[in-house]
Amino acid sequence: MNNALMFSSEKDNWETPQYLYDELNEKFNFTLDPCADEKNHKCELYYTKEQNGLLQDWQGHTIFCNPPYGRKSTADWIKKCYEESLKPNTTIVMLIPARTDTKAFHQYIYHKAMIHFLEGRIKFVGSKNSAPFPSMIVVWDK
């Protein structure tokens, strides 16, 4: 598979389909969206790119995280989610490409979180086509 194609989008902040968010929110009752913008945030409390959710403290929240999908940035968000999940009263649910061959997957997800592989390919809000990759939901919840 051509990796250039998999990471070639002009944008990296794809909005989660509302039906998928609603299904997850019904179970988890999210309080924070740490990587969003004015148009695509899913929670009342959210951090924009300028506020840099990677530098914020998430303790005590139930987080929904659909991070930017660049090769480096996704790994940074996976690490942050894992680290924040170690804090008391913090649950994190993350929507990411199902890339089980990455270092981040093995360091911060595998045997450390619950993994739910999604059937088919997600069609993100505003996209003409479905994503060119499978997706997974990762849950860190003590």
Read off the pLDDT of residues 101-123 as tens digits, 9 standing for 90 and up: 999 999 999 999 999 999 999 99
Position 73 in a domain: yes
* pLDDT of the residue at 8: 43
Position 80 in a domain: yes
What tens digit of pLDDT does each residue of 7-45 get? 445 556 778 999 999 999 999 999 999 999 998 999 999
* pLDDT of the residue at 52: 96
Domain count, the chain: 1
How far is residue 92's CA from residue 132's CA, in Å, rounded to a whole number? Answer: 25
Domain CATH number, residue 91? 3.40.50
Domain with 81 in it: 18-140
Position 93 in a domain: yes
pLDDT higher at 73 or 83: 83
Position 41 in a domain: yes
Position 13 in a domain: no
